Structure 1
């Protein structure tokens, strides 16, 4: 099989990934708003690429839960709803309880201090009534655990699902469904467990912060 025949596919995959990252970032930072229609011609003009990598990127973002597609009808940014909030929040707890348990013993001292600082910032913002702002930063807050977990399969799962799940937390009802007075003490326990390098306590705190039932 001639080697050059594989090159166009590799280039197309790389271009699709670049396009996907740009659209993903625009969704996550609010440049593209929930419910906004995604027109191929507008995206071609913005990104300077052909239709094929754009459609491939949009299909990947739809699988991640950031885009909604109906063939021959519309392609648009997903619009989170209160009905999806609790399921998404608990799913993040199921996934990241395990990630935390693996990551905590592997943190370097510098990484541990950085995570503790981030959790301190989350607690300060919750105390200041900024729960919606914390939700907007959710994907970045979750991602800090992934690189240290040391499990490539779990890291891939997190990268493919976290954006879509964290995006579903961006609803006005989050303070009602995920009350700060319930969640903040569990995040404080998580912070203390990370500081103490206690993976079991950290896992349990992460799960409790996501409203999962206590283990018997």
Structure 2
């Protein structure tokens, strides 16, 4: 029998992904603000697509934690609260401790230099009390480690969870709940471990950066 064509489904998936990326980028760069209501008609006018790919994209963004949906009540951008911050931050530490352990031995020299430069920038801005700037770029910062981890399953997990978790760090209470003087020494250890190509030390430092309980080397 003839094999049914799957092209329409593939096109629909591609369109959904494009819409999802555009809405995601607007949330992450602040164009769509926390708590802002998302109306289908407004999104249709903005994106120039039908309702179906928009609803599919919103459902995916809700699963990642960037969108909040209540049937027949509202669809809105998530609004991070200080009560969620520490749980989200420590969850990132659990995930990215493993990512770092896998990535550090695999870094090419250009990747290693790029990560060290990023850590220098994070350290400098945190020293100046600009943790809010670092938090706004959190998803991009974490993605630098994923590129080199070499584990497709872990990379997929990171792609599906990091945006929503990093977004929850964007609260005014961040400096109070994640003090710079606690994190800065661990960032220095993380940088040293990357330069030394020591995956275990890097993993422990990443976990300590994220305020996870200490464990023996």
TM-score, normalising length: structure 2? 0.98
What is the CA–CA distance in structure 2 between the aligned matches of 1:81 and 1:11, rounded to whole Å? 37
- The verdict on how the C-alpha distance between 1:112 and 1:12 changes in structure 2, with shifts beyond 3 A counting, is same
Partner of 1:138: 138
How big is the shift at 1:4? 5.2
TM-score, L = length of structure 1: 0.98
Establish whether residue 175 from structure 1 lines up as the match of residue 175 from structure 2: yes
1:50 aligned onto 2:50: yes
Partner of 1:41: 41
Question: How many residues are treated as equivalent by the alignment?
Answer: 216
Q: Provide the C-alpha distance between the structure 2 equivalents of 1:147 and 1:99, rounded to a whole number of angstroms.
A: 10
Task: Find the counterpart in structure 1 of residue 62 from structure 2.
Answer: 62
What SS does structure 2 have at the residue aligned with 1:68?
Answer: strand
Distance 2:190 2:114 in 1: 14
**SS of the counterpart of 2:5?**
helix
8 Å contact from structure 2 (residues 99, 146) kept in 1? yes
Deviations 1:155-179 (A, max 9, x none): 0000000000000000001111100
- Pairing 1:145-184 to 2, within 5 Å after superposition: 145-184=145-184
1:118 counterpart residue number: 118
1:81 aligns with 2:46: no
Runs of 4+ in structure 1 displaced over 2 angstroms? Answer: 1-5
Per-residue deviation, 1:196: 1.0
Give 3-state SS (helix, strand or coil) of 2:213's partner: coil
Where 2:100 maps in the other structure, the secondary structure is helix
Matches within 5 A, 1:205-216: 205-216=205-216
Distance in structure 1 (CA, Å) of the matches to 2:78 and 2:4? 39
Give the corresponding residue for 1:108.
Answer: 108
Does structure 1 conserve the Cα–Cα contact (< 8 Å) formed by 2:100 and 2:203? Answer: yes
- CA distance, structure 2, for counterparts of residue 3 and residue 14 of structure 1: 21
Question: In 1, Cα distance between the equivalents of 2:2 and 2:41?
Answer: 35
Structure-2 separation of matches of 1:95 and 1:4: 40
| Unaligned runs of at least 5 residues, structure 2 | none
